[in-house]
């Protein structure tokens, strides 16, 4: 399952839908693909925190590494950058909750 499908399924579930319901001809989760793609487009450019997180791995990449090593490094960069993005989102949500509190 691709990250795009995982995200679409998650949105479907979050909206109370049965992700695999195909009563309309296609699984219900596919109706969320436009929203997922919009989010992906919005996330195309990393934040400063994501750049910093990714750069920590890149500093240790050497030309003598195997293809598997480079692929592993690339995956780790992605994970670290997404973790940084998730942390940014948590901070924004916490700040928003603080403002909304009576």
4: number of Cβ within 10 Å: 14
Whether residues 53 and 39 fall in one domain: no
Domain that holds residue 19: 1-44
pLDDT score, position 93: 64
Whether residues 34 and 49 fall in one domain: no
Given pLDDT bands bounded at 50, 70 and 90, which one contains residue 20? very high
Whether residues 84 and 36 fall in one domain: no
Cβ pair 8, 30 in contact under 8 A: yes
Whether residues 49 and 39 fall in one domain: no
Q: What tokens were used for 31?
A: 């109706």
Residues 6+ apart with CB under 8 A from 13: 19
The tens digit of pLDDT for each residue in 38-92 reads: 998 888 788 888 787 777 777 777 777 777 777 777 778 888 888 887 787 677 6
Q: Given 24, 44, 64, which residue is the final one in a domain?
A: 44
pLDDT score, position 92: 66
Q: Which helix (H) or strand (E) holds 68?
A: helix 67-100
User: Given a cut of 90, is residue 11 above it in pLDDT?
Assistant: yes
Q: What tokens were used for 51?
A: 């750049």
Segment 29-45 shows an average pLDDT of 88
Phi-psi region at 25: left, alpha or beta (left = phi > 0; alpha = psi -120 to 50): left
Number of structural domains found in the chain = 2
Whether residues 9 and 32 fall in one domain: yes
Give the CA dihedral 35, 39, 41, 45, nearest 10 degrees. Answer: 180
- CA nearest to 43, candidates 76, 89, 96: 89
pLDDT score, position 41: 84
């Amino acid at each position: 399952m691709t990250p795009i499908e995982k995200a679409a399924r998650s949105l479907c579930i979050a909206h109370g839908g049965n992700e695999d319901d195909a009563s309309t001809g296609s699984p219900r989760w596919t109706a969320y693909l436009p929203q997922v793609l919009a989010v992906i487009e919005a996330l195309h450019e990393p934040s400063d925190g994501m750049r910093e997180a990714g750069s920590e791995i890149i500093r240790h990449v050497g030309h003598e590494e195997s293809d598997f090593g480079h692929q592993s490094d690339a995956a780790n960069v992605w994970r670290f950058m997404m973790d940084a993005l998730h942390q940014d989102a948590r901070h924004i949500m916490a700040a928003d909750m603080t403002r909304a509190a009576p």
